[in-house]
Amino acid sequence: MNILGILRVIIDNLLGYDALIFIWAGITLILFVKARQNCTKLKHSLMGTTVTRRENAFKPECLEPVEKANEAQIIDMHSKQEKFYTAFINMTSAFPLLGMIGTVLALLNLSIDGSEEMLTSNFFVALTSTFWGAVFGVCAKAADCFLAPNIDENNERYRLCIERNNLGPDIENAGEENEAEQNIT
């Protein structure tokens, strides 16, 4: 198969089933950007809250409580971050499946009665969707490597700050009770 034949097959496939994989990649990219934006926004809102450990206590806590007016906004930001991130992760996991479906669809169209060159050409058609599914799957997983640690950090800060706000003034006493329990045992 010559170079022009290969290019023709790639272009034909891009206008066919492979276009679905590219559209899926575009939607996944939008979800990644939205998840990252919401993650950054939440991180900046939680920056004033420092996580530390009390002396002799095993439980980390939020030093500066979130104002009640901001708590609803922070809950909303966290919810948006989680929705977009979950959608991004789910879309990412579908890339290999889309590639396999494209390959199976193309292989179903193979004609065994054709010449060897025709079989090679049809087999090449079948593999392009596998290639694009793998490429976009790897790229999305690589992008997740940069996003996931920030999401995890935000989730921990969010949990600590909401926990502190819900406990209110009793949190100071809770640490003393934990110390008393530790000294007894």
Backbone angles phi, psi at 52, to 5 degrees: -145, 170
The mean pLDDT of 65-72, rounded to a whole number, is: 60
Please give the structure tokens belonging to residue 80.
Answer: 């948006």
Q: How far is CA 1 from the centre of its chain?
A: 39
List, for residues 4-53, the tens digit of each pLDDT value.
776 777 787 778 788 899 999 999 999 999 999 999 999 988 875 454 55
Single-letter amino acid code for the residue at 122? N
pLDDT confidence band for 107 (50 / 70 / 90): confident
Q: Is residue 46 helix, strand or coil?
A: helix
Question: Distance (Å, rounded) from C-alpha 185 to C-alpha 178?
Answer: 11
pLDDT computed for residue 44 by the predictor: 86
CA angle 88–28–24, rounded 5-degree value: 130
List, for residues 72-84, the tens digit of each pLDDT value.
888 899 999 999 9
* Residue 133 clears pLDDT 80, i.e. is over it: yes
Residue 59 and residue 181 in contact, taking contact as beta carbons nearer than 8 Å:
no
- H or E stretch covering 53: strand 51-53
Q: Which residues contact 1 (CB under 8 A, 6 or more apart)?
A: 9, 117, 120, 121, 124
Single-letter amino acid code for the residue at 106? A
Reported in sequence order, the residue ranges of 96-156 that DSSP labels E, i.e. its strands, are: none
- H or E stretch covering 152: helix 116-167
How much is the mean pLDDT over the chain?
78
